Amino acid sequence: MKVNSNDTNLASQFISNSSEVKINKPVNGKEQLNSEMQRLAKDTYHKEQPKEPDSTYNKPMSIKTNHVLTSRAAEEKALTNIWHATVNLYMPGGEVSKSVEKMFNQYNSIMADIIAEEPSLASTDWGISINKSGELEVTGTLSDTDKMLISDKLNSNDDFVNAANEFKSSFLEHIDLGVRGWSSYDVNEDNFSKIFDLKEILDNSQGGESFKQAWNKDFSWLELNDNIFTQLTRNE
């Protein structure tokens, strides 16, 4: 096709003489395309292969920081752990509630034996703690004879001791996985015996009449939760 030189000159003259004509680069021009390709290249992961790799683009990507992998799978696992901890710390079917209920079911019988031998202990202020070795210890300003009596009654009941250890281990395990709530308090192996008085927990886990009618039992996980929180805020 032959181009008329006069037409070309005329067009050039028209463009140069016109102050109103502006030439805008197309929105999807070559420069923008190159810019987009460069941006995508930064987010492209290439599989390791001997030959030319096939690139894939898939966000969000895993980020590895200090050898800790953060990904959707890791986030889902963390959320599952939080849910699991919440159930076992606060719910009636959780490990904490079930372990204390086991103690509660043995408690009245143990107290009856203690008071039968020393009636004054029914109105005396004393407590029960669990030490690092898993044995139950008597706290309070009691005589050595009274402490020995109570300690023997407590530690001779295997079901009660096992349940106390279950309470301790499950509580410590799940506050490490949970967030907020009880997990906000610094409770560990070293200070557990100083924070929790098991006798106070058991004395305050009795359900009211409305609770007994609704749940058909004396042990109240609601009262338990209240007392655990009370002791945490007071002793932590």
Which residues, in sequence order, are bridge partners of residue 56?
45
Q: CB 180: neighbour CB atoms within 10 A?
A: 8
Cα distances from 152 to residues 35, 84, 115, 121, 231, in angstroms, run 80, 36, 13, 14, 26
pLDDT given at position 120: 94
Q: What pLDDT, in 10s, does the model give residues 64-95?
A: 445 555 688 888 888 888 899 999 999 999 99
pLDDT given at position 25: 45
Mean pLDDT of the region 184-203: 96
Contact between 151 and 137 under an 8 Å Cβ cutoff? The reply is yes
Mean pLDDT of the region 43-48: 44
Type and span of the H or E element at 46: strand 45-46
Type and span of the H or E element at 127: strand 127-130
Which residues, in sequence order, are bridge partners of residue 55?
46
Instruction: Report the largest interatomic distance among the alpha carbons of the chain, rounded to a whole angstrom.
Output: 126
Predicted TM-score of the model (pTM): 0.68
Contacts of 135 (CB under 8 A, 6+ apart): 155, 161
